[in-house]
């Protein structure tokens, strides 16, 4: 059975605006204003909540900025949970690509560094949770991407094997996880780094979701039916 594993933020959906709004809210409540810009800080948004808080606190000469990040992080998660799909949408063509992949007997899964409860909530709100055989988040195991076990366990829980799987992602975290797991990696060019992800030399670059099914067929061809 072939398995297509997807990252979530920046790969399946553009979550940056809602993530940055939550970070700005947590920072404002802590007395630091709303320093994050939804365009300038997209990369930090896709790097996680703590990365956004660090970026927001960078202009302040704090003796222990990391302690402030730790204090603000739980509130960021609360705010994000409450506004998780205000502006977040799937990238164009995602569901049609899923239709074609599932018609060709691909199983679909999600391996994300987003906390599992938030990933489950967002996928349900976006109407696609039922598409996936498995969803693993940052707290599903004792490790997370780029540790290959996170990806390998996602594949295993989907009923697949690494030699018949592909990871679709958007950052070096995905590329390194796939490399360590021995799994081909497709990187999208519409994520936070754009076409610059080509420097990571993935197995393929995805410019738009309508191209994905044929791309995956080339990377992991269907096995011929015995005669």
Alpha-carbon distance of 164 to 122, in angstroms, equals 27
Alpha-carbon distance of 52 to 40, in angstroms, equals 11
Query: Residue 179 in contact with residue 211, Cβ under 8 Å?
Result: no
Retrieve residue 32's tokens.
């630091």
Q: Which residues contact 67 (CB under 8 A, 6 or more apart)?
A: none
Letter string b/e over residues 63-102, b meaning 16 or more CB atoms within 10 A of that residue's CB: eeeeebbeebbebbbebbeebbeeebebbeebeebbebbe
Retrieve residue 15's tokens.
């979550």
Q: Which of 7, 9, 14, 174 is catalytic?
A: 7
Q: Is 7 a catalytic residue?
A: yes
**Active-site residue list:** 7
């Amino acid at each position: 059975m072939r398995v297509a594993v997807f990252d979530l933020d920046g790969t399946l959906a553009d979550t940056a605006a809602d993530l940055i709004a939550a970070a700005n809210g947590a920072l404002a409540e802590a007395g630091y204003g709303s320093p994050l810009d939804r365009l300038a800080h997209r990369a930090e948004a896709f790097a996680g909540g703590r990365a956004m808080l660090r970026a927001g606190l960078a202009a302040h000469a704090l003796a222990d900025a990391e302690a402030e990040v730790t204090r603000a992080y739980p509130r960021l998660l609360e705010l994000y949970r409450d506004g998780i799909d205000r502006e977040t949408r799937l990238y164009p063509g995602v569901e049609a690509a899923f239709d074609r992949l599932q018609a060709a007997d691909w199983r679909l899964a999600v391996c994300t560094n987003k906390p599992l409860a938030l990933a489950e909530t967002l996928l349900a709100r976006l109407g696609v949770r039922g598409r996936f055989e498995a969803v693993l988040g940052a707290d599903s195991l004792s490790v997370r991407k780029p540790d290959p076990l996170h990806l390998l366990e996602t594949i295993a829980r989907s009923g697949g094997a690494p030699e018949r799987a592909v990871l679709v992602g958007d950052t070096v975290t995905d590329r390194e996880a796939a490399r360590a797991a021995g799994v081909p990696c497709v990187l999208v060019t519409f994520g936070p780094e754009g076409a610059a992800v080509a420097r990571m030399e993935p197995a393929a670059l995805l410019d738009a979701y309508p191209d994905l099914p044929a791309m995956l067929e080339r990377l992991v061809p269907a096995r011929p039916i015995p005669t």
